[in-house]
Structure 1
Amino acid sequence: LGINYLVLTFNLFIGKVALFHIIRLFIYQGVREEKTSKKSDFIVFSPQTKELLYELLSEFLLPLMLIYTLLTPPVILWRNKKIRVKDGKIHYEI
């Protein structure tokens, strides 16, 4: 994996999030949310900006979740028993 792949992947993530954000803006164009909190914050984000940041965060965490899933052993803990799936067969362990 080179820098070109990382740049391409980053651009695809940003493009996907931007596309979703633009589509949501067109769908919810008439809906306005009023600010419920009157206290002054250091950094104030609009609801659209918060949504965009959450989308970006979820897109960047998705590959990490995939790697975690692939690296952890396939064990399910259910009712104090371990369940493993090997070669399409379910094995119960106490």
Structure 2
Amino acid sequence: MSKNATIAAVNDYVIADTPEAVLDTASAGPAMYMDAMSCNLIRMRAIVQLLMSEFNEPDGDRLNDEQIAAALWAVDGQIETMGKLLDLTCAADR
């Protein structure tokens, strides 16, 4: 969990400001996992849209290879996080 991520308990609900924060708490429940997955999907969609915009203006400024690789690495990390969140959701349903 990043040092800036926070987890707070409000009215018996766990509030996390990032999907990563949910992975570090056992008290989060299925509803929290769904919220974290939604946040994760928004992040992945934003990165994919950024990469897709590279093909809209062939004569415009382009990201360099390192920037594209970093964006793809971020998506890979988001996919891994999504897998963990799905595992937690399935385990909570049992």
TM more than 0.5 = no
Q: TM-score, normalised by structure 1?
A: 0.32
More helix by share: 2
Structure with bigger RCO (C-alpha 8 Å, 6+ apart): 2
TM-score, length of structure 2 as denominator length: 0.32
Structure number having the greater strand percentage: 1
Structure of larger gyration radius: 1
